[in-house]
């Protein structure tokens, strides 16, 4: 009896130990699982697909219709500054540091892209960035991000940077006309905002944008930029490139082209049901 009662006591001690151990193990597992399930920081890639209207941009080899006139044009180079990227979440926004990115389209890929490393991307609800260089940086000699006063995108220290560089050739009736669009000036700096839905970002953290170069040549006779924004692409009126083949320092011409900055980048609609701005 004594023996058996002793046994019972032993058994209950053992049971307690097992239960305690089980609870500890369970707690440990919960901790491990919660760490594993916590969204891991990943790279955010903003990928920009250049188009002229519905045709993908191919440097040198592909020709495109003069948007508002006769003849066809080719592009030999296109470069663009994207800056001051802000990522918005339900909680605190993230401001990228040294946020000056030069997009180029002369690499192996047909697109240009920039990567923001190691971001917790869940609940990313809005994205904004500037086209060009903000006035403070544009008037300085700083080396920050892709800013380089000795680069092709710099004019000289009194004038600042080209925000957009577009060079090519327009051919009308076998006559060739050089196209030079070097668009800068503080007034041209434009901020764009994009509300993001879940499907706008791929599983590996890529957000795809379409750049439509034709939008740079939409006629700005309408006083309000917002109006053109609402117009479907086929209702927009375009300029004749032969009448505005070079834009560098003439403020009115710069303004006319830079007005398109507000409209020429859009989120790619990758789903087939949507009508506008397919990227593939």
Binding residues for another protein, rule: CB under 8 A, are 59-60, 76, 102, 104, 106, 141, 143, 148-152, 154-158, 167-169, 175, 177-180, 182, 245-246, 248-251, 253
Q: Which is nearer to another protein, 191 or 240 (CB)?
A: 240
DSSP state of 161: B
Task: Let me know: does 88 contact 41? Beta carbons within 8 Å.
Answer: no
Q: Which is nearer to another protein, 138 or 277 (CB)?
A: 138
Q: How far apart are CA 213 and CA 229, in angstroms?
A: 15
Please, what is the minimum distance in Å from the beta carbon of residue 249 to another protein? Answer: 4
Please, what is the minimum distance in Å from the beta carbon of residue 182 to another protein? Answer: 7
Task: Let me know: does 151 contact 90? Beta carbons within 8 Å.
Answer: no
Please, what is the minimum distance in Å from the beta carbon of residue 152 to another protein? Answer: 4
Strands (E), 196-280: 206-212, 246-247, 265-267
Give the CA count within 13 Å in the CB-facing half-sphere of 209: 24
Please count the other Cβ atoms lying within 10 Å of the Cβ belonging to residue 85.
20
Residue 265: strand, helix, or coil? strand
Q: Which is nearer to another protein, 22 or 251 (CB)?
A: 251
Q: Which is nearer to another protein, 21 or 178 (CB)?
A: 178
Please, what is the minimum distance in Å from the beta carbon of residue 132 to another protein? Answer: 18
Q: How far apart are CA 50 and CA 28, in angstroms?
A: 50
Please, what is the minimum distance in Å from the beta carbon of residue 217 to another protein? Answer: 17
Q: How far apart are CA 29 and CA 33, in angstroms?
A: 6
Q: Which is nearer to another protein, 154 or 233 (CB)?
A: 154
């Amino acid at each position: 009896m004594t023996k058996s009662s002793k046994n019972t006591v032993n058994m209950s001690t053992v049971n307690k130990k097992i239960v305690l151990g089980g609870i500890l193990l369970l707690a440990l597992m919960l901790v491990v699982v919660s760490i594993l399930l916590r969204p891991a920081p990943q790279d955010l890639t903003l990928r920009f697909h250049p188009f002229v209207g519905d045709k993908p941009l191919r440097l040198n080899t592909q020709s495109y219709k003069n948007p508002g006139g006769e003849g066809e044009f080719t592009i030999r180079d296109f470069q663009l500054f994207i800056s001051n990227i802000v990522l918005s979440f339900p909680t605190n926004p993230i401001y990228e540091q040294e946020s000056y990115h030069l997009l180029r389209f002369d690499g192996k890929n047909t697109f240009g892209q920039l990567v923001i490393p190691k971001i917790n991307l869940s609940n990313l609800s809005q994205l904004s960035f500037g086209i060009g260089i903000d006035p403070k940086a544009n008037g300085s000699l700083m080396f920050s991000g892709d800013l380089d006063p000795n680069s092709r995108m710099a004019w000289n220290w009194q004038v600042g940077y080209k925000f957009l560089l577009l060079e090519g050739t327009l051919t009308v009736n076998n006559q060739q006309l050089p196209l030079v669009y070097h668009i800068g000036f503080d007034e041209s700096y434009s901020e764009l905002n994009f509300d993001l839905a879940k499907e706008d970002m791929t599983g590996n953290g890529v957000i795809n944008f379409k750049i439509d170069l034709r939008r740079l040549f939409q006629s700005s006779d309408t006083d309000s930029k917002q109006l053109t924004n609402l117009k479907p692409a086929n209702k927009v009126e375009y300029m004749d490139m032969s009448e505005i083949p070079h834009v560098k320092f003439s403020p009115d011409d710069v303004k006319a082209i830079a007005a398109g900055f507000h409209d020429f980048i859009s989120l790619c609609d990758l789903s087939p049901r949507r009508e506008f701005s397919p990227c593939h």
